[in-house]
Structure 1
Amino acid sequence: MRRPIIVVFLSLLLMACQALAAERGALFKATSKGNTLYLYGTIHAGRADFYPLEPRIRAAVAAAPTLALEIDAARDPAAVLAALQQHGMFPAGSPGMAGLPAARRLRIEAGLKGQGVDPAAVAQMKPWMVATMLALLDMGKLGYNPALGVDAHLAQLAHDNKTGKTRVTELESVQYQAALMNRVPDEDQWRLLEETLDNMASGRQLREGRELLEAYERADQAALDRIARRIELDATLSGRFTREVLLNKRNGPMADKAASLLARENNAVVAVGLLHLLGKNGLPELLRRRGIKVERVY
């Protein structure tokens, strides 16, 4: 009799652990004309212990007719590569980093070496792409792996849905995202990279990254609200870039698509980077301005 009892006990323990899976990020519920839409804030890297996700998210994705992500990077790797090649690299024949004044180039190269990056390996990358790569390196220092990103995991859940009814769609495209970054003038891109390297050297970037990731892990509303206020007030170049390019220019079109999805489908899920859901220009507030009822679940 002991073996069946042990099996039952372990099964119950596993079920209890899954039921107690931590709330992470932020979850909002939007309703309009009898339809419901869930907004879930993700991060684009993760850890193995994030999974399984908490039951409400798993259930929402399982029941969703559509899961809308910023992008579904695994859908077309060739398109991702083509977009980064077009918008993330200097064209053939361009000097790239070598075209900078010597003192400036040497300063940037020294900063890159200080972060363990070979300047020659990134010499033909656009500065925005180098800054993005450095941000991913910082996430790695904090123990987060882009291959374990929450949005990628959600896409896999939808693709694995045995009912076959959850369609994965994109609110944006890699082409759109890369082109948006590359529309920033080259001089501002170089200044952004220099400021990024300064923030890494001072520890500011790692400190603020840790703050955001810890707030994500705890679904800490007060901490997330503080981060949103800091971004709204940050007058540095990197602060303005985050606020104006990474968030504000994208949030309006995302909100339009989320509102359209809510109007035509019930129980759809929109999962985007956590920062897109925060502050006065986040998706929940933009949907409220469109007359949609939005409540925060956590």
Structure 2
Amino acid sequence: MIRRLLLLLTLTLTLGHAHAACPPVPALPSAAQQAAWAAKAPDRGPLWRISRDGHSSYLFGSLHVGKPDWAYPGPALRRAWAETEVLAVELDPADVGPALTAAGTPEPLPTALAQRVEAQARVACLPPGVLTSLPAVLQVSTLTLLEARRDGFDAGFGQDLMLLAWARADSRPVQSLETVAEQLEALSPPTADVPAMVDSALHQLRTGQTRAPLRKLAEAWSRGDMRTLADYPRWCACADTPAERAWFKRLNDDRNVALASRIVALHGAGQRLLVAVGALHMSGPQALPLLLARQGFTVEVVTPRQ
């Protein structure tokens, strides 16, 4: 899933300047910029130390988009990396290819709605028909990620990808906490709800309403502002109907029990983990830190410092 989304985003690198209205392609930083950002990176995002069975792991609330200078870890995250030996993420992109092929072609959208998706894809300067192989929710998610470029954010600078690249460079083992099938199931609302949810997402994209909530989410994440993140369903304009609220719960809260269970198993096997999971999974009644505390972990806030 991640790999296919990144491929779609990469396709725009050669198309992004073809029209003034295209989402701007992020400029690649110079070597000097990279060195400066790496040397001066502050701590961003929430980080916890979780301890049980005589050793500690770390739990990092990640963001799936970022700015170029955000793709460098701050001092606390670097220490967490040095004190751990395995990276655990929601899903390793290396697991994706065969599973997506096995999943087959998704059910198509109604013709009129598919045409509106295609029209929004043209606004994003994507090649014709490139989204049709994705489930409907991922089609609009891809368009939302491209729209985020207008405010300087890009999926290529997300914290998960930064950590995965770091793991590859260090030959560090990577563990997936979910399977591709589990993620696809979580991402798929009931078939009857899909048209209304896609219609709402397209309306927000067309009217520019997706940008302010994404900016607010990113800035709250950067500060480690868990209070604002916990209120996300109230201000995101993405959980306003019963169907949207049910889907958000399924996508976020309902996955946390299984995620926590797998963290417990990996840690219990003696592995010192750096766990990177989307920061919204760290909030609410099923927040991962709470679930792990109930499993007997000592959970300590590392960042933001209290």
User: TM-score by structure 2 length?
Assistant: 0.74
Segments of structure 1 that go 5 or more residues without pairing to the other structure are 1-13
Paired residues in the alignment total: 268
2:72 to 52, 56, 61: 52
- The structure-2 alpha-carbon separation of the partners of 1:261 and 1:119, relative to structure 1 and needing over 3 Å to count, comes to same
- Aligned partners of 1:156, 1:124: CA distance in 2, in Å? 27
- Aligned partners of 2:159, 2:97: CA distance in 1, in Å? 21
CA RMSD of aligned residues (A): 3.1
- Aligned partners of 2:121, 2:36: CA distance in 1, in Å? 46
* Preserved contact between residue 88 and residue 126 of structure 1 (Cα < 8 Å): no
* Preserved contact between residue 229 and residue 279 of structure 1 (Cα < 8 Å): no
* Preserved contact between residue 28 and residue 39 of structure 1 (Cα < 8 Å): yes
Structure number with larger C-alpha Rg: 1
> Where does residue 153 of structure 1 map in the other structure?
162
- The structure-2 alpha-carbon separation of the partners of 1:44 and 1:143, relative to structure 1 and needing over 3 Å to count, comes to same
Give the 3-state SS of the residue equivalent to 1:212 in structure 2. Answer: helix
* Preserved contact between residue 83 and residue 178 of structure 1 (Cα < 8 Å): no
> Where does residue 269 of structure 1 map in the other structure?
274
How much does 1:48 deviate?
A: 2.5
- Aligned partners of 1:292, 1:137: CA distance in 2, in Å? 39
1:89 matches 2:105: yes
Higher relative contact order (CA 8 A, sep 6+): 1
Give the 3-state SS of the residue equivalent to 2:210 in structure 1. Answer: helix
Q: Percent identity of the aligned residues? A: 29
Give the 3-state SS of the residue equivalent to 1:122 in structure 2. Answer: coil
Report which stretch shifted further, 282-291 or 216-225: 216-225
- The structure-2 alpha-carbon separation of the partners of 1:55 and 1:124, relative to structure 1 and needing over 3 Å to count, comes to closer
User: TM-score by structure 1 length?
Assistant: 0.76
Residue identity opposite 2:49 in structure 1: K
Residue identity opposite 1:126 in structure 2: P
* Preserved contact between residue 277 and residue 284 of structure 1 (Cα < 8 Å): yes
Q: How does 1:1-298 map to 2 (within 5 A)?
A: 20-73=40-93, 75-76=94-95, 80-87=96-103, 89-90=105-106, 96-97=108-109, 100=110, 120-123=129-132, 125-161=134-170, 166-182=172-188, 184-227=189-232, 234-236=239-241, 237-244=243-250, 246-265=251-270, 267-297=272-302, 298=304
How much does 1:109 deviate?
A: 5.5
Segments of structure 2 that go 5 or more residues without pairing to the other structure are 1-33
* Preserved contact between residue 71 and residue 174 of structure 1 (Cα < 8 Å): yes
Runs of 4+ in 1 over 6 A off after TM superposition: 14-17
Residue identity opposite 1:170 in structure 2: S
